[in-house]
Structure 1
Amino acid sequence: MRQPSTNGTRRFSQALRPPTHPAPLPSVPYINPLLFWKQPPPKPNLKIRLTTDGAIMLSWNLPTLSWHHEEIMSYRIYSYRETSEEPSQLLWKTEADVYARALPMACTLMQIIHGYKYHFAVRAIDMNFRMSPESNTVSIELL
């Protein structure tokens, strides 16, 4: 909502919002491709669900994967546990590196502490150690 000008300047009543969880995932180093390399991995599509025994199941696919892309070697799974701290990239932890198998892939996480909200993301890693863009971030609150 605009307020009247004062001395030629405008004031806006829009308040600054505090930063929200999760913080952005840390960026990865760029690897300059060689001429004969194929394209780096595409962005994974991540899903989450709670299993009947209280574990978290993450599953993902690469919907745009084709022969134009380099072979996927592994996937890196990241977790972020919300706390009362300010959002920070330091709260992102590498949960696991899993070898690539036939898609779609899934991973079950069992050592999760109840009473927190968690966020997860995945990156694909190709045979040249290039990482895909991070997947969509999925979240779950365990009470």
Structure 2
Amino acid sequence: MKTKIFLLFTFLILAVSCAKDNPLNSSNNNNNNNNNQITIANYEGTYTGKAQYRVIPNGSPTEEDITIIIDNKGSVTIKTQSQSKVFDSISKISDKEYSYNNSPYILSIIFDEAGNVSIDYTIQNENGTSEKYTANKLTKTVS
């Protein structure tokens, strides 16, 4: 009888320790922490500033206004004087660095500690040239 009670007690301890909602279950805690990860949507807002624009290989750099809009779903819209492009599938490199690389577009976005943004945005054209926008410090103007 003591053996049956001991086995029953052991089984209950095992069942409780493996339960999904058990705070002592480390695999469950890791899953909860993943829900709090930083994504590009955490940087939601409108960032504006000046970018160096250059046609590669032979163009001279000129300065253009550029605007980046990040929405709460993680979409990024880049607006320049000549175009507007929406990116929906931004890849996370780190909490502060994101990229998009799907021909003909290449985009790199880096956030600094002060809340500013640096970008490299390249459009590869079919005629063998590329358009490149580089901005080192876009500031957040609208949240």
Q: Please say which structure displays the higher CA radius of gyration.
A: 2
Considering Cα pairs closer than 8 Å and 6+ residues apart, tell me whether 1 or 2 has the greater RCO. 1
**Which has a greater percent of strand?**
2
TM over 0.5: no
Normalised TM-score (structure 2): 0.29
**Which has a greater percent of helix?**
2
Normalised TM-score (structure 1): 0.29
